[in-house]
Amino acid sequence: MGSLSSRAAVIPDVDSIRRETGFSQACLLHLHHRFQALDRDKKGYLSRMDLQQIGALAVNPLGDRIIDSFFPDRSQRVDFSGFVRVLAHFRPTEEEDSEIRDPKKPEPLNSRMNKLRFAFQLYDLDGDGKISWQEMLQVLWLMVGVQVTEEQLESITDRTLQEADEDEDGAVSFLEFAKSLEKMNVEQKMSIRILK
């Protein structure tokens, strides 16, 4: 078996990944096993198809969009550090130890702001920094789907957009998005406990 740290040594760049993501060594080992299990042909990276095996993503209406975020530069492969970096956005914030964060260090990936940024890019399909009416409609369609008529969906889209669109330019900027979710407990909603 060996100690935790000797087992973690099989993970490439484990120390820098740990610093960047905030995951504990035990979590990283667990995720590395998961990564290897998903990588069925032992390629050393995961493809879109590998990620589609994740049950939670298969049933999530935004699953495909979440899978897209593993491939930011339109590449078709994600290595272990890229895999963990996306998952780090979902790390619960209360797992944080109480030590005061060094202000010179970059904001943790699981901060409220980074969670919001992650959610925003799920809506911003063309990545231009704004959620257009069309993009809002598409995402709402994925989420509420067949339960409503097209007309109802369009009016839900109108309403959602109007509520968030403070400067009335017909689209939702990141700041407007963040503001409209001000009262929502994003930290809790966007948390997945990796180790139970």
Minimum Å distance from CB 175 to Ca ion?
9
Minimum Å distance from CB 117 to Ca ion?
14
Minimum Å distance from CB 61 to Ca ion?
19
Minimum Å distance from CB 165 to Ca ion?
4
CB distance 91 to 21 below 8 Å: yes
How far is C-alpha 61 from the geometric centre of its chain's CA atoms?
14
Minimum Å distance from CB 134 to Ca ion?
8
For Ca ion, the closer CB: 85 or 130:
130
- Residue 21's contacts (CB-CB under 8 Å, 6 or more residues apart) are 28, 84, 85, 87, 88, 91, 109
For Ca ion, the closer CB: 126 or 158:
126
For Ca ion, the closer CB: 93 or 180:
180
Token reading at 179: 């503001």
d(CA 29, CA 23): 10
Q: What is the contact surface with Ca ion in residues (CB under 5 A)?
A: 124, 126, 128, 130, 165, 167, 169
For Ca ion, the closer CB: 50 or 165:
165
Helices (H), 25-105: 25-38, 48-51, 55-59, 63-68, 80-88
For Ca ion, the closer CB: 27 or 139:
139
10 Å CB burial of residue 138 (0-12, 13-18, 19+) is: middle
